[in-house]
Amino acid sequence: MTLNEKYECYVKEIEEAHIWQGILYPGFLFKPEVLNDIQSFKVRKDDIFIATFPKSGTTWTAEIVSLIKSEVNIPFVKSLDISERVIHLETPPNRSLKLLEDLGSPRIFGTHLPFHLLPDSIKKGDCKVIYVMRNPKDVAVSFYHHHRMAKDLGNFSGSFKDFLALFSAGKTVCGSWFDHVIGYWEQTEKNILFLKYEDMKKNFRENIEKIADFLGADLSDEQIFKVLNHCSFESMQKNEKANRDWIPIFDKSKGNFMRKGIVGDWKNYFDQQDNQAFMSLYHAKMGQYTNLKFEFEIPLQPRLLPNQPNKKTNFSAKNSTPLSITNSSPQENEYSSSSTDNAFNSINYESSIKFINNNVFAYHERSLLSTSPTSPLFIVR
Peptide bond into 373 cis (omega under 30): no
Helix (H) or strand (E) holding 168: helix 160-168
Residues 369, 301: Cα–Cα separation, whole Å: 12
* Beta-carbon contacts of residue 333 (< 8 Å; ≥ 6 apart): 300, 303, 339
Handedness of CA 250, 254, 259, 264 (dihedral sign): negative
Q: Is 355 helix (H, G, I), strand (E, B) or coil?
A: strand
Pairing of strands 346-348, 368-370: antiparallel
- DSSP state at residue 169: T
Q: CB burial class (10 A; 0-12, 13-18, 19+) of residue 100? A: middle
Is 146 part of the annotated catalytic residue set?
no
Handedness of CA 7, 8, 14, 20 (dihedral sign): positive
Of 18, 88, 112, 147, the active-site residue reads 112
Residues 79, 240: Cα–Cα separation, whole Å: 10
Q: Give phi and psi for 73, each to the nearest 5.
A: -95, 90
Catalytic residue numbers? 112
